Amino acid sequence: MPFDRFRFHHPAPIGAVKRRLGPWASVPAFCFVVGSAATASAQNSAQDQAAVASVPAVEPAAQDATRKPHDFSFVALPIPVSNPTIGSGFAFGAGALYKAGKSDKPWVTGVAFLYTNTESWGLALVQKAYIGDDRLRLVGAVGGGEFHIDYYGIGPDAGDRDVSIPITQRAGFIGAQGLVRVAPHLYAGLQYRYLDMGTSLHIDPPPFPDLRPPDAELESVSSALGLSAEYDSRDSEYQTSSGLYATGVWLVSDTALGSDRDYSRGEARINGYHRLDPKSVLAWRGSVCVAGDDAPFYDICNYGSQGDLRGYASGQYRDRAMVAAQVEYRRKMFGRFGGVVFAGVGGIGPALGSVGDAFLPAGGAGLRFEASRKYGVNVGVDYAVGKDSSAFYFRIGEAF
């Protein structure tokens, strides 16, 4: 297997914002790469980058009962980035945490910037607020950037062909989400996403006709509103040993909202955690994504992104439906060191009924080091093997 694919994954605190924002925009996903993290957006090849750039001590610090109502904390972190999709470079994230009103959880104001040697860049701002004793959760984000990436086409056959063309995507986005607590651990509400996307092809005509997206999708606007929900019974956000974490979102893009086309897109994910003994945890994850027939190529389902199976280049396999499932065994070994082994399988297709036609397995192993005993945050490296590919992943926090 070639050792030429490297990725940096960083799901932590400001990053927890991404997991709550659902599909927002994938080049904007960079914004969560670059700023925090929401859960996916208009799934384009840059989507996988959305998980880079968070700050490890945000949420845990917020739970420190010794803090006074208006305590203020500031955290900043430079992060190396190496990924065949956008190249090598760095991301820088910074966040202010502070108590507002009677909230026990801290409000977060964050900013992040990303730049790589392919001249890809992104900038994002994010605001997160807890209101009314955490009965209402509000998140807002705005960002933009330019990404130089590869486009493989749509469908399992295009992914298997492993032929791509270079494209440039320029995007600006705005996102907002409001969730209300409707039951213990359960939140539900609305989510809005605005995405202005421009795509340029650097090989025209391409070697295969399906490598050229429709002209109408090269310059387009998506404005979508929909339902969002979250269930969280985890015992800890970073070294989770029990509980469930599930998210779901259904967005409808409509011309009445200012969109260029009408289509819908939905995705759902669920993570489970079970302690086996004092040193071992078994974690599992399942995910599903569907996109309407009129969804543009950058807003369909992207395999190998957002922690949904390591070992695949994000964007090589994309279609209008996707499912993925994986299991991971985590064990503390000695001192601050630990290890993980993982395996999973999934598929893509034009509809959920056909995803089984594209069998995409993956598996691998990784090492962990507990960088912060106080907050239980690990850093580590994973090596994963996919169907015809392999990749290293450098990360802060776990894959899911």
Largest CA distance in the chain: 63
- Residue 208, SS3 per DSSP: coil
Tokens encoding 124: 């994002």
3-state helix, strand, coil in the chain (%, to 5): 10, 55, 35
Rounded CA-CA distance 257/252 in Å is 9
Please spell the DSSP secondary structure of 378-398, one letter per residue. EEEEEEEE-SS-EEEEEEES-
pLDDT score recorded for residue 375: 60
User: For 256-311, how does the pLDDT look when each residue is reduced to its tens digit (9 = 90+)?
Assistant: 999 999 999 999 999 999 999 999 999 999 999 999 999 999 999 988 887 788 88
Query: Rounded CA gap, 35 and 143, in Å?
Result: 9
* Residues 221 and 260 sit within 8 Å (Cβ to Cβ): yes
Q: Which residues pair with 169 in a beta bridge?
A: 147, 199
Give CA angle at 112 (257, 383), nearest 5°: 100
Amino acid 190: pLDDT: 97
Q: Which amino acid is at 61?
A: A
Cβ contacts of 100 within 8 Å, gap of 6 or more:
70, 107, 129
Per-residue pLDDT of the chain (400 residues; tens, 9 = 90+): 333 333 333 333 333 333 333 333 344 344 433 433 333 332 333 333 333 333 333 333 334 434 454 567 777 777 777 666 677 788 887 888 887 767 777 788 989 899 998 899 999 999 999 888 889 999 999 999 999 988 999 999 999 998 999 999 999 999 999 999 999 999 999 999 999 999 998 887 888 888 988 888 899 999 999 999 999 999 887 788 999 999 999 999 999 999 999 999 999 999 999 999 999 999 999 999 999 999 999 999 988 887 788 888 778 899 999 999 999 999 999 989 999 999 999 999 999 988 888 889 999 999 998 877 766 778 788 889 988 888 777 777 788 8
Q: What is the pLDDT of residue 282?
A: 97
Per-residue pLDDT at 216: 85
What residue ranges in 303-389 does DSSP mark as E strands?
318-319, 321-334, 337-349, 360-372, 377-385
Name the pairing type of β-strands 390-396 and 6-9. Answer: parallel
